[in-house]
Structure 1
Amino acid sequence: MRALPRPVIPALFFVLLLVAWQLVGQAVTAPGAVLIPPSTIVETLGQRWYALLLNAGITLSEAGLGFLYGSLAAIILAVVVDRFRIVGEGLYRLALVIYAIPVIAIAAPLTASLGLGMESKVAVAALSAYFPVLVNLTGALRTLDPRVQELSRVLAMGYTRTLLTMRAPAVVPALFSSFKIAGPAAFIGAIIAEWMGAEGGLGVMLIQSMFNFNVPLLWTVLLVATGLNGLIVLLFDVLGRLAAPWHDSSKEQS
């Protein structure tokens, strides 16, 4: 008997998981039961698809802007840390301290100061996204092959030229690996910020469904958010392979 193709095994696992979930969900008939069958979630998705689409668009917009600002700030800070070691090390430590503050704790004062609009959600998403990019990129710049630096000295290349032409291409895989963490982090940060108060978004739907004891809608929003987070990871995985086709990680996936 020939071995099953690799994609078939996880697919079979999820099919069996869904079947078991459906059977258990149908068996639990107590009022207010938390576990509901997937068929009920699909039905709720069909009924509330427009509201889910509208609110998902709001959250994705907030997360996208936050990811953009957070990643840009992290890239600039990583270059500063690499170029000016003494001053940069202090800034790096300060960035670590800021990240140590729980997102849900910093979301409240940001919402109070920036209001219930998009600005506070983007700020929280940016704070959630910058750390993975900063750490991965800083580490990648510090651990590059020393022959790159030696070659730049031989060619009498300055720091900026060496960074743009030799070092930047070498850290692209590490950068996109950090994006696969920062993207979902920004999405989760936007949802948490919406819990503090917002006009719309998946976070608002989660809070409303929870306080209204609407379990089917709660599960539906959770699964939609999970699916979108998975798509974000997949997007950066594909973009990373396209940006660095020469890297070992891209060859393994091809």
Structure 2
Amino acid sequence: MKIEEYLETLPNNLLSGEDTQLSEKSFREIFKFVNLGKNDNFYHLGCVSERGIEIAINEFKVKKAVGIDKNFEKITGAKKNLKEKNIQGEMICQNIEDSDISDASVILFWFTDENIINQMLEKFEKLKPETKIITIWGPLPDCLPDKVNFPYIINKTPFKKAPSLQDQLLAIFGVKCVDFVTAWEFAERYTKSIGSPEVRNDRFLTIIQTLVIWINAKKLGVACGEEIPESIQTYINIMKVHFDIDFEYLLKE
């Protein structure tokens, strides 16, 4: 099967972040990376639970913390948990497209739905200067990142427009071209950040993401060298022979 067909069989949240529970370790990494602190109004869009809100308040002493999610059951449970712990965070059941985030200084946003992203991009562009939008894996569309600690990426308002996809990709990876080592390193960072109880699954996802990164770089003309690296070809063959997942057609498009 083609890789797109295989990815459709995976839980949507594995790639999109929607309905994903980030680990406490990931939240702390993100908050340290963005230098979250007492002067910040923090918003977690698509929060699922109160976990990030609790850490932002208790450990990073933010002025305000708000979680927004459309799932009524999960927001109800999150409100209950915060109340039981006497934590003054705010949990809102709402589509994020309808949310009021006008006083935000830091926003955590992890979605891949283009309609949602485009609607939110319009809202983000109206925020006060220096507002930080944190995304995971990729930056906001057509924007150059202001700061990267992959897979965590910061775009600050007003956004810096990327001249091209090539410029955006190289800015994320911080290299002049993408080789196998870069693709593997960044894929591994991603799988470690989202966590998994099965290490074997993490490695499998790392291989897939490595191939996706390198092939995208190749198609954009920013892979190192003209030849396919031996390691990339080996993993392409393993995916085809042992898992019936086809990557080769992507190189022919």
Q: TM-score, normalised by structure 2?
A: 0.24
Structure of greater relative contact order (alpha carbons < 8 Å, 6+ residues apart): 1
TM-score (norm 1): 0.24
Q: Which has more radius of gyration?
A: 1
In proportion to residue count, which structure has more helix?
1
Higher normalized strand content (fraction of residues): 2
